[in-house]
Amino acid sequence: MKRLGLLILGVSLFTTIFAQTIVTEKADDAFKTGKFYDAIDLYKYAFAKAKDPNTKGYINFQVAMCYRNISEFRQAELWFRKVTRRNPYSPLAFLYLADALHANEKFDDALENYKKYIELDPTDPKGQVGYKASALAKEWTDNPTRYKVVPMLYFNSKDSDFSVAYGKDNYKSILFTSARNDVTGGKENPVTGQNYTDIFTSTIDRKGQWSKPVPVEGEVNTDYDEGAPCTNAKANTMWFTSVRPNEKGILTTQIYVSKKQGIDWGKPERVTLFESDTIPVGHPAISPDEKTLYFVSSYFGGEGGRDIWCSINEGGKWGKPKNMGKEINTFGDELFPYVHADGTLYFSSTGHQGMGGLDLFSAKKVDNKWEIKNLQYPLNSVRDDFGIVFEGEKERGYLSSNRKGSRGKDDIYQFSLPPVEVKLNLIVKSERSNDGISDASVNIIGSDGTNETKATEQNGSLLLNLNPNTDYRIITRKGGFLAGRGKLTTYGLNESKTIEEIVLMSPNDAPRLVNVMYDFGKFELRPESMSALEELVEILRDDNPNITIELSAHTDARGSADFNKQLSQKRAQSVVDFLILYGIDAERLTAVGYGKDQPKLVTPREAQEFQTRPGYDFLKSGVLLSETYIQSLPLEEMRETAHSLNRRTEFRVTGTDYVPRIRKRK
């Protein structure tokens, strides 16, 4: 939390179980004023002089707290362990030890210490929040979102760099906060141990190279802290946080506004939000219409910690600040608000359930209520993640973090959401042989207006790029084959993938099964056959309007030949009658009942499919299901399966040059 310093409005002090002594007086004074770096050395010096065990225990706790406040989690873990060993009944020590372990990604140890804290203080929600954070951190790290996060080496220094805003409306210039050596004052901030921060700028050139960051021109930066800037959509007005002496010479944290004058920023003016300038405010965020200013304050009347407030511009003046309420603000800290171009509010919080430290959240109004969502990993980490800003409507921008691997105490990271790339690996095969069909014409039609035709490779394959959130229809054509059809969708896909799809094409001289059903000994079509019949209508009307077909029905070998012949003829005719009713020309259709005269021949593709179906794996390619073969089968179940395959309805192509009728409109 060190980066926040005076920029996030003061320092939270913690109550300990130990008593202060004269030995630690100087160290305590440094701690109370937030000079944690100085306090560490003073406490360690005091420890050498201390003789009382309670004083030594107190010093250990304070040193641990100093490391916690400057986000030195490895040292914090070491020192809080000392405290818990000396005093196993110190609740806060176990909580802060768990926090340090969590920040160091030692999730199992963290969970144990959160449990201990919950036992010692079951009324404090911080224990439950921390416990859930460790569990979520493991889960979300193992299942990241599609966002990509990379450090911006152009901007980051060995010191803190954070909170980006855009310096131009083309997003090719940025503003950010930095404690690097080029700051205006050049003095060390005793709270952070680094320089007082300034607002810096960098611009990208035509070659994509960022310029060396330099302090912004004008009167924005002072000898004290400036930072956490935000700009309007035109990037000609900047609001920022600044620590400056008031009329009484007292340093106060306030929001200032500056307008661009040429390439420089004009003289800043304080934004009056509260009547008293001793009430700290900071972290400004302006709405797209510039009528609402969001900011952070620890002003009383909030929900606890530091809260997000807002003020409405009324006649050129900012109105009375309003706390954003319990849906946004919690018992913890809510900081660094940002308003997206679409109106979504983004902020960081230690109180909402997250992965640990400050987590980034989005807030949208749904049915007049705020819907809060954690942005999850990798936008969030187990440490502090804050200061997000988007590049207009695009799913990319910058965030700040002190996550593992950061060069400085806080670094700037660029994030982006790669587009979902969906590819189709299509293979067009012969339904009879299962071989790929080369040079087949593939017409793919998308619900988004896509309509393109390509040819398959020698092996029948074709690789195509698909668009997200689109339904596709595939039609394949090749001389000597019936047109093939396929359907697929990319709706609901939130990650890149390759879809494997096979489209089968029937040779014109091969019979094709029509999956219709009848009651035993009857020829009336059953309702379950409707789907197969409608598919046959599409094949004849839409995909193959120039073919004529023979529609044949077959029975098994049981029963008399005459009965089976008559029954199969009636069944074939019932299908033809259905097709005519649905607009298929009668002269394209011939109904033939073969009875039991044409037993089924198992094709290679069918044999391959049968190997995966229980009770069918005995059927091999090229087997003719004759009465003799069926009777040779050893099991009744196998014989009944073969009989069922003979009871079928099929069609085959008899001609390919039919000219459809020209129908007059009624």
The answer to whether residues 518 and 644 touch, using CB atoms and an 8 Å cutoff, is no
The answer to whether residues 555 and 625 touch, using CB atoms and an 8 Å cutoff, is no
What are 229-288's pLDDT values in tens digits? Answer: 999 999 999 999 999 988 888 889 999 999 999 889 999 999 999 988 889 999 999 999
Q: The CATH number of the domain where 642 resides is what?
A: 3.30.1330.60
My answer on whether 500 and 516 are in the same domain is no
The CA dihedral of 244, 246, 252, 254, to the nearest 10 degrees, is -70
pLDDT of amino acid 19: 44
Residue 87 lies in a domain: yes
Residue 385 lies in a domain: no
Most confident of 34-38, 66-70, 394-398: 394-398
Buried b (16+ CB within 10 A) or exposed e, 27-65: bbebbeebbbbbbbebbeebbeebeeeebbbbbbbbbbb
My answer on whether 457 and 527 are in the same domain is no
Q: The CATH number of the domain where 452 resides is what?
A: 2.60.40.1120
pLDDT of amino acid 135: 87
pLDDT of amino acid 394: 95
Give CA–CA dist 243/222, Å, rounded. 9
Mean pLDDT for the stretch of residues 650-654 = 92
My answer on whether 411 and 428 are in the same domain is no
pLDDT of amino acid 337: 98
Residue 383 lies in a domain: no
pLDDT of amino acid 251: 87
Q: Measuring CA to CA, which residue among 407, 354, 373 is closest to residue 153?
A: 407
Mean pLDDT for the stretch of residues 35-49 = 92
| Percent of the chain scoring above 90 in pLDDT | 71
Residue 18 lies in a domain: yes
Q: How sure is the predictor about 589, in pLDDT bands with cuts at 50, 70 and 90? A: very high
pLDDT of amino acid 4: 44
Domain boundary among 110, 142, 174: 142
Mean pLDDT for the stretch of residues 283-300 = 95
Mean pLDDT for the stretch of residues 363-378 = 95
Please indicate whether residue 513 or residue 28 has the higher confidence score (pLDDT): 28
Residue 276 lies in a domain: yes
My answer on whether 484 and 520 are in the same domain is no
Count of domains forming the chain = 4
pLDDT of amino acid 21: 63
Q: Measuring CA to CA, which residue among 310, 359, 348, 350 is closest to residue 330?
A: 350
User: Is pLDDT at 12 greater than 90 in this prediction?
Assistant: no
Domain boundary among 382, 416, 450: 416
Q: The CATH number of the domain where 188 resides is what?
A: 2.120.10.30
User: 125: cis peptide before it, omega within 30°?
Assistant: no
What are 101-146's pLDDT values in tens digits? Answer: 998 989 999 999 999 999 999 999 889 888 988 988 989 988 999 9
Mean pLDDT for the stretch of residues 588-605 = 93
My answer on whether 109 and 24 are in the same domain is yes
Does the reported pTM lie above 0.75? no
Name the least confident of 145-154, 340-349, 406-415, 546-555: 406-415
Residue 643's CB is within 10 A of a number of other CB atoms, namely 17
My answer on whether 526 and 615 are in the same domain is yes
My answer on whether 11 and 136 are in the same domain is yes
Name residue, tokens 């919080």: 349
My answer on whether 13 and 134 are in the same domain is yes
**Sheet harboring 589-595: ordered strands across?**
512-514, 648-655, 548-554, 589-595
What are 412-448's pLDDT values in tens digits? Answer: 999 999 988 999 999 999 988 889 999 999 999 999 9
The answer to whether residues 300 and 271 touch, using CB atoms and an 8 Å cutoff, is no
Q: How sure is the predictor about 2, in pLDDT bands with cuts at 50, 70 and 90? A: very low
pLDDT of amino acid 16: 39
Residue 356 lies in a domain: no
Residue 613 lies in a domain: yes
Give CA–CA dist 66/72, Å, rounded. 9
Start-to-end CA span in the chain (Å): 79
Q: How sure is the predictor about 5, in pLDDT bands with cuts at 50, 70 and 90? A: very low
Q: What are phi and psi of 139, to 5 degrees?
A: -65, -45
My answer on whether 102 and 167 are in the same domain is no
pLDDT of amino acid 664: 53
At 361 the three-state DSSP class reads strand
Give CA–CA dist 658/29, Å, rounded. 99
- Boundaries of domain holding 493: 422-505
Mean pLDDT for the stretch of residues 190-200 = 87
User: Is pLDDT at 449 greater than 80 in this prediction?
Assistant: yes
Domain boundary among 387, 416, 445: 416
Tokens of 153: 């080496």
What are 388-421's pLDDT values in tens digits? Answer: 999 999 999 999 999 988 886 899 999 999 988 9
At 138 the three-state DSSP class reads helix
Give CA–CA dist 161/409, Å, rounded. 8
User: Is pLDDT at 651 greater than 50 in this prediction?
Assistant: yes
Give CA–CA dist 145/379, Å, rounded. 8
Residue 359 lies in a domain: no
Give CA–CA dist 280/10, Å, rounded. 8
Give CA–CA dist 517/195, Å, rounded. 84
My answer on whether 40 and 138 are in the same domain is yes
User: What integer best gives the mean pLDDT of the chain?
Assistant: 90
User: Is pLDDT at 15 greater than 80 in this prediction?
Assistant: no
My answer on whether 439 and 557 are in the same domain is no
User: Which amino acid makes up residue 183?
Assistant: V
Residues pairing with 455 in the sheet: 441
My answer on whether 228 and 198 are in the same domain is yes
Q: The CATH number of the domain where 93 resides is what?
A: 1.25.40.10
The answer to whether residues 111 and 133 touch, using CB atoms and an 8 Å cutoff, is no
